[in-house]
Structure 1
């Protein structure tokens, strides 16, 4: 059976720089009836585990280490034995949420993760955070962008460890280079496509000046 994409929405709080906001997060499960990868286990390890059922969890992939994307990762790892993977440049953010528990392995640019015979390529797309990554699955015609690219533009860059020119460069060079019909599955809110977002690049650049 070919890999499929499942979508779960969990709710909780995002905390950074002394502020706290209520948020709804997209949790993505990629796999088949036997095995799966979870992208950004947010807020509720029980809900994610229930969605997985008895499938083997190959890896827990964190697109970045803001607390709302990683707060359920250790609990899910403890339940399943799956490794938590994070780009090393985001470990400073990870430690704000989990000071006593390091990630189990790194994500590196160009790394390929395989689940249910389907390859997901890690694209380092910094800007929202230093170690932000996207996961491109050409066989599924999709890219998981975390908080780097949303329907309507780049992710937020107004807080610590973020940078607007860097996120625009990541989107321009790494994401908008993908086929236009590639579905963009985001960390929050609705999905979009590369072709829908790419005409607005010049507007985003202008907005940042």
Structure 2
């Protein structure tokens, strides 16, 4: 078995909700080894993601949440590689806005997603959306946070199906209890660490009021 590795692909497109659209760059994370890989957040364009996968087996196409910019090409990649789409069912209403009629396998809190001889733990972290999840890989000290936690603060909560007190609870109770050295691989932009973000929780709370 070859060593576990984390690859990032960046694609560009639009996030659309509540009647508006915004240009965004998204991080797609590939977690695996030389033989198999899990795709996290299949955004905008399948071609560069497929190129990064190469000839590896795709064990799943996992969605940290169901905003359109994180799931754009999930069905396309799942068909191409014969893989299963994985999503927390609390985001079903958002999923149906983009992919009505396309089925997925439901995720649940505490579930372990196997890949490359290890696994990623599903952490249900609602707030940015009802079904938002983060994925924790202790051996690599890695957290894939979707749009729940960024460098400098929590994900946005100003649109439908989001809630600021809920995301603050998810971050403080679930994420900031992880070891400080854990590297946070975010859904947009550059990453951070739990240790870098933990001291700022009260600032975020004050800013949100």
TM-score by length of 2: 0.98
- Give the root-mean-square deviation of aligned CA atoms: 0.6
2:56 alignment counterpart: 55
User: What do residues 83-122 of structure 1 show as CA deviations (whole Å, max 9, x unaligned)?
Assistant: 000000001000000012122x011000001111121000
Provide the C-alpha distance between the structure 2 equivalents of 1:138 and 1:67, rounded to a whole number of angstroms.
29
Question: How far off its partner does 1:162 sit?
Answer: 0.1
Q: Partner of 1:127 in structure 2?
A: 127
**What's the TM-score, normalizing by structure 1?**
0.98
CA distance in 2, matches of 1:181, 1:32: 23
Contact persistence 1:90–1:129 (CA under 8 A) = yes
In structure 2, C-alpha distance between the alignment counterparts of 1:94 and 1:38, rounded to whole Å: 17
Contact 1:142 1:185 in 2 (8 A): yes
Correspondences of 1:104-143 after superposition (within 5 Å): 105-143=105-143
Structure 2: stretches of 5+ with no match in the other structure: none
1:207 shift after superposition = 1.1
For residues 206 and 155 of structure 1, the distance between their equivalents in structure 2, rounded to whole angstroms, comes to 15
Distance 2:33 2:39 in 1: 12
Measured against aligned partners, the alpha-carbon deviations of 1:20-43 in whole angstroms (never above 9, x if no partner) come to 001000000000010000000100
Rounded to whole Å, the distance in 2 between the matches of 1:167 and 1:118 is 28
**Whole-angstrom distance in 2 between the partners of 1:48 and 1:130:** 26
Gapped regions of structure 1 (runs ≥ 5): none
- Counterpart of 1:182? 182
- Which residue of the partner structure matches residue 203 of structure 1? 203
1:10 Cα deviation from its structure 2 partner: 0.4
Aligned length: 208
